[in-house]
């Protein structure tokens, strides 16, 4: 830049007055599937093993393209090494061009200058952006307009669920961030400070160690967010339970546990879960399984909580997580946090598809079940949506705000969760936890009570509930559940008012 624009960089202060752009969002690493899909468009429809085999065949049958691929691999490898050395604010394992453009823009903008960039929403939430995010939020006045591509109003040919950030800002001695949302170009043109949520640099730093910028649908969201913000977090160790994200089992194509699996479903084989197998308080066994583990001794030898007793029976012991959570999940899905309990034997979670929640030694079965129940509530889901892009990542789970429940509330939530699991066919869970149907009420009535417990745990009332429900489609929170929740929350408030 200084060579191309000497008049810009020889003045004081040096640099551009303004940089505006829409940088490429590609990763620098070579991705064989993306390279070869231009030769064979059907690759994207194949499962992992079949896709790898097809790419191997294509390299043999298309020597010219194979040579071009080898050249690209070398070039991209050289690029990665250069970028990792030249750029200091990028993070994560993969070099992303949009990160590099943002860092370069910050470095070549003069003091007092401004920038405006179109960036992926990952900027606001993913760990790989945390260094850039900290630099921005702690040194710049930012205006962050977040929007989804519904109706392709931002980009043509890009899926409507894709979330985009319109970032503008300039350096400041008293930095703050204004967060807004847009659903059309008209919303962007009509943008105003009054329609945004304002966060100071200190508030952003206090939200999470990685300076995550939450997603707000409207300024009223801040009322609920602030009410929940000071609650203990799951991984903080200060609430009624201490837990954290767990994704140690990795049976993917390049995962360390891949060698344990086969495509053959033998008698006694354990099944490896995919995303669609997990429902709230249940498993969908109608979805096909793709991988099986037949070697139980090798499974137990991993030392991750799979145990074999003196009779040769294999099960998930007390050292193995109980709670399984869908990993791919978007903040605008009908529901975002979807979890169930692992049975004592037969199923394993799998990195990239189904993750788990590990808990500290000494955690009681009631605490485990109560946590599962809470994770499936509207309150927990609403909180997680503020930080979720397209996956329930480790920070999303670890920073989950916990309700202030006493022992009686934990016990009640656990009993409800046990009943809902039992009605879905569960009997014995990981760690030898037994569940039974101990209630006469309908499952919907139990869900209402579970959600009421979650609201009570944060002292959330009817106005807060109304704000949260705006985040969910009818499919995620049916009308009957909405009406019932309004009734019990209103009745609870009336009783409290009389007291």
Q: Which of 170, 45, 35, 179 is nearest to 109 (CA)?
A: 170
Cβ neighbours for 86, distance < 8 A, ≥ 6 positions apart: none
Percent with pLDDT over 70 in the chain: 99
What value does the mean pLDDT take over residues 267-296? 93
Q: What is the pLDDT of residue 434?
A: 97
Q: Using the 8-state DSSP alphabet, how is residue 356 labeled?
A: E
Give 351 or 31, the one with higher predicted confidence.
351
Same domain, 225 and 246: no
Of the residues 414, 438, 462, which one is the last residue of a structural domain? 438
Task: Label residue 92 by pLDDT band (50, 70, 90).
Answer: low
Indicate if the pLDDT at residue 147 is higher than 60: yes
Q: What is the pLDDT of residue 371?
A: 98
pLDDT digits (tens, 9 = 90+) for 365-415: 999 999 999 999 999 999 999 999 889 999 999 999 999 999 999 999 999
pLDDT digits (tens, 9 = 90+) for 177-229: 999 888 888 888 888 777 788 899 999 998 888 899 999 888 889 899 999 99
**Looking at the domain assignment, is residue 47 inside a domain?**
yes
Indicate if the pLDDT at residue 461 is higher than 90: yes
- Six token digits for residue 185: 């170009």
Q: What is the pLDDT of residue 104?
A: 93
Same domain, 263 and 392: yes
- The sign of the torsion formed by the CA atoms of 134, 140, 141, 142 equals negative
Domain containing residue 265 = 235-438
Q: What is the pLDDT of residue 126?
A: 85
Give the count of domains, the chain: 2
Of the residues 176, 210, 229, which one is the last residue of a structural domain? 229
Decide if 325 contacts 380 (C-beta within 8 A).
Answer: no
Same domain, 217 and 272: no
Of the residues 229, 246, 265, which one is the last residue of a structural domain? 229
Q: What is the pLDDT of residue 435?
A: 97
**Looking at the domain assignment, is residue 470 inside a domain?**
no
Which domain CATH number covers 327?
A: 3.90.220.10
Same domain, 279 and 202: no
Q: What is the pLDDT of residue 364?
A: 97
What value does the mean pLDDT take over residues 230-257? 94
Residues forming a β-bridge with 369 = none
Decide if 427 contacts 434 (C-beta within 8 A).
Answer: yes
**Looking at the domain assignment, is residue 443 inside a domain?**
no
Helix crossing, 479-498 with 462-469: angle to 10°?
Answer: 160
Dist CA 178 CA 169 (whole Å): 10
Indicate if the pLDDT at residue 499 is higher than 80: no
Q: Which of 350, 353, 368 is nearest to 426 (CA)?
A: 368
Give 234 or 230, the one with higher predicted confidence.
234
Same domain, 178 and 34: yes
Dist CA 167 CA 129 (whole Å): 14
**Looking at the domain assignment, is residue 127 inside a domain?**
yes
Q: Using the 8-state DSSP alphabet, how is residue 162 labeled?
A: -
Task: Label residue 25 by pLDDT band (50, 70, 90).
Answer: confident
**Looking at the domain assignment, is residue 459 inside a domain?**
no
Which domain CATH number covers 194?
A: 3.40.50
**Looking at the domain assignment, is residue 498 inside a domain?**
no
Same domain, 326 and 208: no
Q: Which of 6-15, 184-193, 453-462, 480-489 has the lowest mean pLDDT?
A: 184-193
- Six token digits for residue 483: 């009406």
Same domain, 252 and 199: no
Dist CA 399 CA 209 (whole Å): 10
- The pTM for the full model equals 0.86
Same domain, 173 and 319: no
Same domain, 240 and 224: no
Where are any strands of DSSP class E within 184-322? 197-200, 243-246, 261-262, 270-272, 278-279, 282-283, 291-293, 306-308, 314-316
Same domain, 250 and 360: yes
- What average pLDDT does the structure give for the chain? 92
Same domain, 68 and 101: yes
Q: For residue 459, how many other CB atoms are within 10 A of its CB?
A: 12
Rg from Cα positions in the chain = 25
Q: What is the pLDDT of residue 189?
A: 85
Percent with pLDDT over 90 in the chain: 69
pLDDT digits (tens, 9 = 90+) for 41-84: 888 888 777 888 899 999 999 999 999 999 999 998 998 888 88
In Å, what is the CA distance from 87 to each residue of 81, 82, 109, 305, 458? 10, 8, 16, 41, 43
**Looking at the domain assignment, is residue 495 inside a domain?**
no
Q: For residue 131, how many other CB atoms are within 10 A of its CB?
A: 18
What value does the mean pLDDT take over residues 250-257? 91
**Looking at the domain assignment, is residue 412 inside a domain?**
yes
pLDDT digits (tens, 9 = 90+) for 433-460: 999 999 999 999 999 999 999 999 999 9
Same domain, 251 and 168: no
């Amino acid at each position: 830049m200084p060579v191309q624009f000497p008049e810009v960089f020889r003045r004081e202060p040096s640099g551009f007055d303004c940089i505006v752009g829409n940088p490429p969002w590609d990763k620098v690493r070579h991705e064989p599937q993306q390279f070869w899909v231009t030769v064979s468009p059907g690759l994207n429809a194949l499962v992992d093993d079949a896709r790898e085999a097809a790419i191997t065949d294509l390299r043999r049958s298309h020597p010219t393209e194979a040579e071009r691929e080898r050249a690209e691999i070398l070039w991209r490898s050289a690029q990665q090494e250069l970028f990792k050395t030249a750029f200091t604010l990028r993070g994560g394992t993969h070099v992303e061009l949009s990160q590099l453009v943002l860092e370069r823009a910050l470095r070549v903008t003069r003091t007092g200058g401004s920038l405006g960039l179109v960036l992926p929403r990952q900027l606001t939430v993913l760990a790989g952006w945390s260094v850039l995010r900290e630099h921005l939020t702690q040194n710049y006045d930012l205006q962050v307009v977040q929007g989804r591509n519904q109706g392709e109003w931002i980009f043509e040919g890009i899926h409507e669920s894709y979330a985009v950030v319109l970032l503008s800002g300039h350096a400041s001695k008293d930095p703050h961030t204004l967060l807004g949302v847009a659903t059309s170009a008209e919303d962007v043109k009509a943008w105003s400070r009054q329609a945004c949520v304002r966060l100071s640099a200190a508030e952003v730093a206090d939200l999470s160690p990685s300076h995550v910028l939450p997603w707000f649908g409207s300024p009223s969201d801040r009322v609920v967010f602030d009410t929940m913000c000071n609650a203990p977090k799951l991984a903080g160790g200060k609430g009624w339970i201490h837990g954290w994200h767990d994704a140690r089992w990795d049976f993917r194509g390049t995962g360390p546990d891949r060698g344990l699996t086969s495509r053959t479903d033998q008698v006694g084989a354990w099944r490896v879960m995919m995303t669609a197998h997990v429902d709230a308080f249940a498993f969908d066994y109608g979805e096909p399984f793709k991988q099986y583990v037949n070697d139980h001794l090798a499974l137990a030898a991993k030392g991750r909580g799979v145990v074999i007793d003196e009779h040769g029976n294999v099960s998930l012991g007390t050292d193995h997580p109980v709670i399984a959570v869908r990993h791919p999940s978007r903040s605008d899905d009908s529901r975002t946090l979807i979890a169930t309990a692992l049975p004592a034997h037969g199923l394993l979670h799998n990195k990239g598809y189904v993750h788990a929640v590990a808990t500290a030694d000494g955690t009681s079965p009631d605490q485990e079940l109560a946590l599962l129940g809470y994770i499936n509530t509207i309150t927990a889901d609403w909180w997680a949506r503020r930080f979720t892009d397209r996956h329930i990542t480790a920070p999303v789970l670890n920073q989950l705000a916990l309700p202030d429940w006493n022992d009686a509330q934990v016990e009640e939530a656990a009993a409800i969760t046990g009943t809902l699991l039992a009605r879905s066919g569960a009997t014995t869970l990981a760690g030898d936890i037994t569940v039974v149907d101990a209630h006469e009420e309908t499952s919907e009535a139990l869900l209402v009570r579970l959600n009421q417990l979650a609201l009570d745990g944060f002292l959330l009332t009817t106005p807060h509930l109304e704000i949260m429900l705006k985040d969910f489609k009818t499919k995620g929170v049916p009308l009957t559940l909405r009406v019932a929740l309004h009734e019990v929350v209103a009745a609870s408030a009336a009783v409290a008012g009389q007291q």
